[in-house]
Chain A
Amino acid sequence: AQKITQTQPGMFVQEKEAVTLDCTYDTSDPSYGLFWYKQPSSGEMIFLIYQGSYDQQNATEGRYSLNFQKARKSANLVISASQLGDSAMYFCAMRERKSGGSNYKLTFGKGTLLTVNP
């Protein structure tokens, strides 16, 4: 079973509108973290936002917010006021921390390609 599922291979949004990129995850670990990264066409991986499993509030970073619904195991990324520079591949990732362990490796979804139209 996939640990991270991103069901939208591609999304289109009009400039200045908001867009939601979906991410669902699967884990039995009570302590985990969820991350979103952006990969523009130039290829680098840019960290956007983090949500811890015990965080009470949804994470926000500027125009990015994470809609964290723990019971549904979803961690959707919301980008407000889209800009042309937001056109990129977006990856959701999870870090599980097994009881007593210190392993911080990330498991990534397959990504969503966002295109912002002028």
Chain B
Amino acid sequence: NAGVMQNPRHLVRRRGQEARLRCSPMKGHSHVYWYRQLPEEGLKFMVYLQKENIIDESGMPKERFSAEFPKEGPSILRIQQVVRGDSAAYFCASSPGLGGQETQYFGPGTRLLVL
């Protein structure tokens, strides 16, 4: 049973370029979360999505960042016109959406480096 998959694992962009990070949730999971981890920090919540719906984007920067989870295909976190401060590890997590314990299982992360 495959876990949460993220690609790419490492991504290098120059300032001003776009970064697209992909996340495929665990089989049977309908909830997806994105978190960002800056160096020496814990993970910070960015956005919570269900299929075709953004449920909570309170942790997303107001500009340049967007996320989607289409009916078919992976969830995408998109960062436009990247800046050096966007360099971080971006983690995707998924959960089954059944309530209760609702453990989130994390992918391996995408390490974004902005030159």
Chain B residues with Cβ below 8 Å from A45 are: 43, 91, 93, 106, 109
Give the complex CA separation of A110 and B38 in angstroms: 11
Chain B residues with Cβ below 8 Å from A110 are: 40-42
| Residues on B facing A (Cβ under 8 Å) | 31, 33, 35, 40-45, 48, 55-56, 59, 89, 91, 93, 95, 99, 101-109, 111
Number of A-B contacts (CB under 8 A): 63
Residue of A nearest to B99 (CB): A102
| Contact assessment for B89 and A103 in the assembled complex, using a CB-CB cutoff below 8 Å | no
Residue of B nearest to A104 (CB): B102
Interface SS of B by simple majority: strand
| Residues on A facing B (Cβ under 8 Å) | 4, 33, 35, 37, 43-47, 50, 52, 91, 93, 95, 102-111
Residue of B nearest to A4 (CB): B42
| Contact assessment for B106 and A44 in the assembled complex, using a CB-CB cutoff below 8 Å | yes
Chain A residues with Cβ below 8 Å from B105 are: 47
Give the complex CA separation of A33 and B91 in angstroms: 20
Known contacts A35-B103, A47-B103, A91-B43: A105-B108 contact under CB 8 Å: no
